[in-house]
Amino acid sequence: MPGSIWVHGEIGADGGLARISTEVATVGRALAEAGGRELVGVVVSAEPAAAAAELARFVPRVMAMTEPTTADHAAGTIVGQRLAALAQREQPDYIVTGAGAEGRDLAGVLSALLGWGVLANATSASWSDDGPLVVMSVFGGKLNTTSGFTGSRGIVTVRPNVATAEPAATPGSVEPVSVEGELSLPMVKVVDRIEEATAAAPIEEAKVIVAGGRGIGGPDGFTMVQELAGLLHGAVGATRAAVDSGWIGYSQQIGQTGKIVKPQLYLALGVSGAIQHKVGMQTAETIVAINRDPDAPIADFADVVVVGDLFEVVPALIAELRARQV
């Protein structure tokens, strides 16, 4: 019988299942149905119960492994070792995980330990006679490639927001599992967790992003960006120029050396749309720009450009949205 497809259930900031994993599970389920493979969820954590139960809404069977060390150690290497040992025993053919920081750490460890290849940053996946085919956006969105594995096993990482999470028709079951053996790779202790008072909503999974660029002019301008984002139930994003100027934290940066996002609405305020930023946001479903310069590069790929002073247009937009909500 051909090997199963595993979907990895990542632990989110609240200790439950990370949202990316509900999308990963949905992508994995479509592959399993098309390929006639068994679909299995896997969760490895100090307290896997909540995430495993949530993952079971999406897949028929979830294996939950309690691994106490992840409570106060960096998780990627530990989870990778445990999953690699479990995979050597259970012999799945494919493991699907998220393409965020946690998923990448995990995929790298699994790839090295199992000797499997990685198809990274999938924007969609389909099934062929040779297993999964994965579409990726490369060269800053200039090209979409379709790639497959040369062998019969591999790891796929899936970008956030490329699939709509859909629970299965019937919920699955959770079973505890364990593997023998020591963790041989060195552990990295978490000696402190620093919560930032100003921690902003994460941009990777946001449906709406309001982003500020150089044209925002300073940290005060981001108060306005924040207000608009709040009204639209969205997150605040930024260009590298705004981050380098210290107006907002790096975790909000979109682009080549920041994050790649795919929201339903991307509202760009004072963002020129240079290639380094464009690569991070051009696949947004709707792009709206407010910019003084009608010839800014963003005018070439936005759906709507409002030409004007953002310090006049944005307050008017905020007022209009407030009026609508009353």
Partner 1 sequence: MQIVVLVKPVPDPAAGAERLTPDGQLDRAASPAVVNANDEYALEAALKLVTAHGGEVSLVSMAPAAAPETMRKALAMGAHRGLLVTDDALPGACTLSTTRVLAAALRDLEFDLLLAGADTSDGGAGVVPAGVAALLGLPYLSYAAKIEPSPDAGTVRVHRIAPNGFDVLEAPMPALVVCTQALGEPRYPSLKGIMAARSRELATKGLADLGVSSDEASGAVATTRVVDSTTPPPRPPTRVIREPADEAARQLVAFMAERRLI
Stretch 226-245 residues interacting with partner 1 (CB under 8 A): 232, 240, 243-244
Distance between CA 318 and CA 242 in Å, rounded?
A: 22
Please report how close the Cβ of residue 136 comes to partner 1 at its closest, in angstroms. 8
Site for partner 1 in 14-73 (CB under 8 A): none
**Contact status: 309 vs partner 1 (CB under 8 A):** yes
Distance between CA 125 and CA 64 in Å, rounded?
A: 26
Site for partner 1 in 146-205 (CB under 8 A): 146-151, 154, 157, 184-196, 199, 202
Distance between CA 20 and CA 65 in Å, rounded?
A: 20
Question: 118 vs 165, which CB is nearer to partner 1?
Answer: 118
Site for partner 1 in 126-145 (CB under 8 A): 133, 137-145
Q: Looking up tokens 């954590």, which residue turns up? A: 45
Residue 135 burial class via C-beta count within 10 angstroms: exposed 0-12, middle 13-18, buried 19 and up: middle
Question: 180 vs 196, which CB is nearer to partner 1?
Answer: 196
Mark the segment that binds partner 1 (CB under 8 A) among 36-44, 119-127, 161-169, 174-182: 119-127
Question: 30 vs 313, which CB is nearer to partner 1?
Answer: 313
Question: 175 vs 312, which CB is nearer to partner 1?
Answer: 312
Work out the angle at residue 320's Cα, subtended by the Cα atoms of residues 318 and 321, and round it to the nearest 5 degrees.
Answer: 65
**Contact status: 321 vs partner 1 (CB under 8 A):** yes
Mark the segment that binds partner 1 (CB under 8 A) among 22-30, 50-58, 165-173, 301-309: 301-309
Distance between CA 298 and CA 176 in Å, rounded?
A: 51
Region for residue 255 given its phi and psi (left: phi exceeds 0; alpha: psi -120 to 50; beta: otherwise) = left
Residue type, 21: S
